[in-house]
Amino acid sequence: MSEYTKEAVVGHMRKWYFAHYEPIEESTPRDSGEWVFIHGEPISPQEALEDQFGGLFDEVLISKVADQLVEEFDIDEWVPVPD
């Protein structure tokens, strides 16, 4: 990570995250009031970012980005963006 600034890494993780995940209400249909997860099960930003970037970037920075996403959008579970 020494080749990149923290800001660049954070920007990269956020860009990747928004390209792959969205709030449940964006595209997830409902049936009888219940969410129908046709594009994939909900996942927390922490889990998604760790799966993608764990071992690549510092875990503290990954957690910071995940926490920012939860705080910023007040959503702790997101779903995959439809293909």
- What is the C-alpha separation between 25 and 76, in angstroms, rounded? 13
**Segments making up each domain of the chain, as ranges:** 6-80
Look at residue 83 in the predicted model and tell me its pLDDT: 81
In whole angstroms, give the CA distance from residue 57 to residue 34: 36
What one-character DSSP code corresponds to residue 75? -
* Distance (Å, whole) CA 49 – CA 65: 8
pLDDT reported for residue 2: 52
- Please check whether residue 81 is in contact with residue 19, taking contact to mean a CB–CB distance below 8 angstroms: yes
Indicate the pTM of the whole model.
0.88
**Mind listing the pLDDT tens digit for each residue in 23-81?**
998 989 999 999 999 999 999 999 999 999 999 999 999 999 999 999 999 999 999 99
User: What is the pLDDT, as a whole number, of residue 61?
Assistant: 95
